[in-house]
């Protein structure tokens, strides 16, 4: 039965058993350092598998949550609130940009620039905003978001998947806040990116089931779908990209399963800042000049020739995609 265009509900009612989240900690035996903290942070569960030293490392950090959902009753809101609660309990500073509540301007226009334009005849958004950033002439809302980003050690983007991507209001945040000069430049990209000391991740809900986003699913491989946001936006600006948190087909998940998913998310959040980031091709593997066309070096290609998989989801080199390259760290 098709419930709506985005979701497919298999025969029968909503799922009864908790589904495994896209990320979930594998059960392990406790290593010696895995002891309960003397001064447990409030809200920290007795069963938490997060090492004590990791909790301490997180206490002085700042977390920015860029959040896009219209309703405080939504699952996205619950996922955002869980992150606020966990990081606050850990002693972190938490900043939320609640884009719909802020009525965040989603469209980049000349209004983003105070004062005279350099070339009003042929308005080029990236060039004008770069100059305005250098001269402190960007609009106040962009400056405010820049200030939040400067403080952040971790940025979490919380949203419902819209058209295989972020909702327009969040795309507007990306377009307007990741200003050229401030967030990237030709010299400061990828491994050398402006935000190389920061972490970022996507946390999102979908209408479609997980199986629809498998390599043989009707929507195609989720790893391919994640590449533009995770590589094209986050890693492009230098962020260390953490594995995404995906809440599959959340509206068609039973209340118990949703509660279990939120608990698993809270457990993950406690150790999030210590997680290994996803793997991308290192910048040094490319000829970083216009003559070389910024392509993979010949010796690297030669080395890759004998490997069964491509380097990453998009640096596939005509080979099979490395499985889970955009959903799990190596
Ligand atoms: C324009 C548009 C484009 C879209 N494109 C896509 C697409 O490309 N691919 C795709 O897969 N989907 C797509 N969708 C579907 C969309 O991704 C889902 O509708 C969305 O992810 C659902 O998330 P939500 O937070 O809005 O869910 P909600 O409907 O708000 O929540 C789901 C359920 O969780 C419950 N809930 C709320 N809080 C809690 C709590 N604390 N504990 C337990 N349960 C709770 C709610 O009551 C509700 O029953 C699209 C939708 C739109 C509008």
Closest CA to 323 of 226, 296, 310: 310
Q: Region 79-98: what's the mean pLDDT? A: 98
> Do 144 and 273 sit in the same domain of this protein?
yes
Is residue 224 domain-shared with residue 84, that is, in the same domain? yes
Let me know if residue 30 belongs to a domain. no
The answer as to whether 230 is a domain residue is yes
Q: What is the pLDDT of residue 282?
A: 96
Total count of domains within the chain: 2
Give the closest residue (by CA) to ligand 1 atom 15: 207
Same domain assignment for residues 222 and 321: no
Residue closest by Cα to atom 38 of ligand 1: 75
Tell me the CA–centroid distance for residue 225 and ligand 1, in Å: 18
Residue 3 resides in a domain: no
Same domain for 317 and 330, yes or no, is: yes
Give the global pTM: 0.87
| Span 53-76, pLDDT tens digits | 555 467 799 999 999 999 999 999
Ligand 1 centre and the CA of 208: distance in Å?
10
Same domain, yes or no: 74 and 160: yes
Boundary of a domain, candidates 236, 254, 278? 278
For position 51, what pLDDT does the model report? Answer: 57
* Residue owning the nearest CA to atom 52 of ligand 1: 162
Q: Which domain does 104 fall in, by range?
A: 41-278
Residues 192 and 60 in one domain: yes
Does residue 99 belong to any structural domain of this protein?
yes
What's the CA-to-centroid distance between 159 and ligand 1, angstroms? 9
Same domain, 216 and 96: yes
| Top mutation candidate among 7, 100, 157, 161 for ligand 1, by most atoms within 8 Å of CB | 161
Q: Are residues 101 and 74 in the same domain?
A: yes
The answer on 265 and 148 residing in a single domain is: yes
The pLDDT confidence band at residue 22, using thresholds 50, 70 and 90, is very low
249-274 pLDDT, tens digit each: 999 999 999 999 999 999 999 999 99
CA of 52 to the centre of ligand 1 (A): 34
Q: pLDDT, tens digit, for every residue of 3-16? A: 455 654 443 333 33
Together in a domain, 60 and 164: yes
What SS3 string covers the chain? CEEECCEECCCCCCECCCCCCCCCCCCCCCCCCCCCCCCCCCCCCCCCCCCHHHHHHHCCCEEEEEECCCCCCCHHHHHHHHHHHHHHHCCCEEEEEECCCCCCCCCCCHHHECCCCCCCCCCCHHHHHHHHHHCCCECHHHHHHHHHHHHCCEEEEEEECECCECCHHHHHHHHHHCCECCCECCCCCHHHCCCCCCEEEEEEECCCCHHHHCCCCCCCCHHHHHHHHHHHHHHCCCCEECCCEEECCHHHECHHHHHHHHHHHHHHHHHHHHCCCCCCCCHHHECCCCCCCCCECHHHHHHHCCCCCCCCCCCCCCCCCCCCCCCCCC
CATH number, residue 156: 3.40.50.360
Q: Are residues 144 and 197 in the same domain?
A: yes
Same domain as 244, residue 150: yes
């Amino acid at each position: 039965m098709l419930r709506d265009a985005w979701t497919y509900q298999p025969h029968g009612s909503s799922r009864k058993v908790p589904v495994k989240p896209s990320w979930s900690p594998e059960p392990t035996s406790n290593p010696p350092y895995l002891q309960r903290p003397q001064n447990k942070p409030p809200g920290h569960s007795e069963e938490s598998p997060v090492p004590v030293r990791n909790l301490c490392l997180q206490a002085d950090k700042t977390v920015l949550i860029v959040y896009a959902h219209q309703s405080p009753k939504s699952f996205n809101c619950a996922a955002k609130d869980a992150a606020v609660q966990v990081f606050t309990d850990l002693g972190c500073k938490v900043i939320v940009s609640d884009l719909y509540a802020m009525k965040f301007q989603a469209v980049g226009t000349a209004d983003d620039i105070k004062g005279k334009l350099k070339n009003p005849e042929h308005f080029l958004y990236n060039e004008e905003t770069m100059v305005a950033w250098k001269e402190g002439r960007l609009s106040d809302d962009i400056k405010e978001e820049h200030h939040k980003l400067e403080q952040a050690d971790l940025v979490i983007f919380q949203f419902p998947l819209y058209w295989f991507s972020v909702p327009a209001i969040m795309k507007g945040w990306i377009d307007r806040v990741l200003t050229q000069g401030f967030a990237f430049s030709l010299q400061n990209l990828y491994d050398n990116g402006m935000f190389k000391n920061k972490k970022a991740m996507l946390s999102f809900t979908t209408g479609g089931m997980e199986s629809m986003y498998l390599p043989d699913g009707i929507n195609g491989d989720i790893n391919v779908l994640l590449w533009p946001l995770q590589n094209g936006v986050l890693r492009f600006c230098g962020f260390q990209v953490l594995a995404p948190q995906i809440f599959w087909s959340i509206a068609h998940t039973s209340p118990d399963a949703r509660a279990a998913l939120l608990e698993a998310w809270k457990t993950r959040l406690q150790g999030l800042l210590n997680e290994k980031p996803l793997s991308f091709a290192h910048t040094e593997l490319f000829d970083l000049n216009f003559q070389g066309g910024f392509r993979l070096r010949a010796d690297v290609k030669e080395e890759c020739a004998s490997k069964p998989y491509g380097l990453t989801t998009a640096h596939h080199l005509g080979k099979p995609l490395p499985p889970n390259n955009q959903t799990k760290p190596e």
